[in-house]
Amino acid sequence: MNSESLLVLSLVIGGVAVSIAGRTPALLFFDVCLLLLFCKRMIWLDWPDFSDRLINRLVLACLLLQAVGALINPSDLFKSLITMKALLIGFLFYSLLEKKRIYTWSVPVWLGAAGLTTLFSYYASAREGIHTIGEIKDDVVTPMGPNNYVACYLMMTLPLGAVYFYRSRGHQKLWYGILALLGFAGFLVTFSRGAIVALLISGVLSLRLIYRSGFRLRHAAVILVFIAFIGASFPQEIALGAYDFVESKISVGDESRMELWQKAIGVFQEHPILGIGPGQFVNYSDEIGYNNSKLGAHSIYLQTLAESGVLGSIPIFALMIVSLRRFYMLASASVDPVQVAIWIGMLAAMIHNAVDTIFWAPQFQVLFWLMTAIAAARARACSEEIRLTSAVREATA
């Protein structure tokens, strides 16, 4: 067991509110533990691995241009620093994982713990007599954040948790199955339309890779049993309410979200070069969301254009595209179920961010870089295995 594996689990317990210059931001336990671990590594001269030059340059460009945008628009430097901190902490975690392999069990355990925490919040709401989907979505809040954020985090790791379940044996398979079931149940009780649709779209777009990786009808049958079991555990009024809620949203639409999109486009048109500064869009928004905080643009791509302008958006979008391309290339070339699962989860996360603004959330950044590190480590392990196999064959020929 290494410290990096335990760090992932600390995301579930969130953090504590600290008072800084009249603000009360949440200081994550993950951030504190990561900085302590980083200092420990420095003392023992165990430097992080910054060998991924392309990613290093893109992250550096993102941070530099965000800093410039924040200085040009100094109306709320605090929010800008919080946004930049999320990227920096996530990238630092990635650099540590490039040298220290994270253990397989950490992802299923995190998935199960996050799902269980969400289920506790859901059943607490049910006990209070809350049964309408709209009220549940507002009331289901965990230390990781509001329900739509938690839905995205669970969605990113669900495919990988499912693959680890299928590939495990014996008692480990039982535990991984329970953890995957908890994670999936927690995902469903968020009732996040965007996350569910994003995962479905990602799965459909990846059907060829899924089949090539060994997924068959018997695996689909197990998933359907999972869904049926979880669905049967919901009260009837919740199931009927979910149907009415989705039907209403489809027929009526989401006017507030459309207004936020239009607002983001308008802000970008007014500040097209460097935008209004990272994290600043909420100061232009009148919509109130979780914990009486102002809402973002409900589209990370529109919000990025508004906050960073054309110049600042280039490295951010490049980082997204390069990362997604790597996930796809690794999944396509190796047809490794683990790589395919990472691709599906990350593609779904980026699709979900088209209708939400979760990319700059600290937990999202940690999971984003965690998936990147797992994919890179898996690729290196496969390459080493192929090299050793070839060497043995040559030696015995």
Residues 94-142 pLDDT 10s? 998 888 778 888 999 999 999 999 988 888 777 776 666 666 666 677 8
pLDDT band per the 50, 70, 90 thresholds, residue 243: very low
pLDDT over threshold 60, residue 55: yes
Most confident of 22-36, 239-253, 330-344, 382-396: 330-344
CA 260/CA 275 separation, integer angstroms: 16
pLDDT over threshold 70, residue 26: yes
Q: Quote the tokens at residue 353.
A: 């961010």
pLDDT band per the 50, 70, 90 thresholds, residue 251: very low
CA nearest to 123, candidates 182, 179, 169, 36: 182
Question: pLDDT, tens digit, for every residue of 299-354?
Answer: 999 999 999 999 999 999 999 999 999 999 999 988 889 999 999 999 999 999 99
pLDDT over threshold 60, residue 235: no
Task: Report pLDDT for 331.
Answer: 92
Cβ-contact 366, 30 below 8 angstroms: yes
Work out the burial of residue 61: count CB atoms within 10 Å of its CB; fewer than 13 is exposed, 13-18 middle, 19 or more buried.
middle
What are the φ and ψ backbone dihedral angles of 355, each rounded to 5 degrees?
Answer: -120, 15
Q: Where are the domains of the chain?
A: 3-390
Task: Report pLDDT for 369.
Answer: 95
pLDDT band per the 50, 70, 90 thresholds, residue 252: very low
Average pLDDT over residues 198-222: 84
Host H or E run for residue 28: strand 26-28
Task: Report pLDDT for 27.
Answer: 85
CA 1/CA 287 separation, integer angstroms: 45
Taking the CA atoms of 219, 222, 228 and 234 in sequence, report the sign of the dihedral they define.
Answer: negative
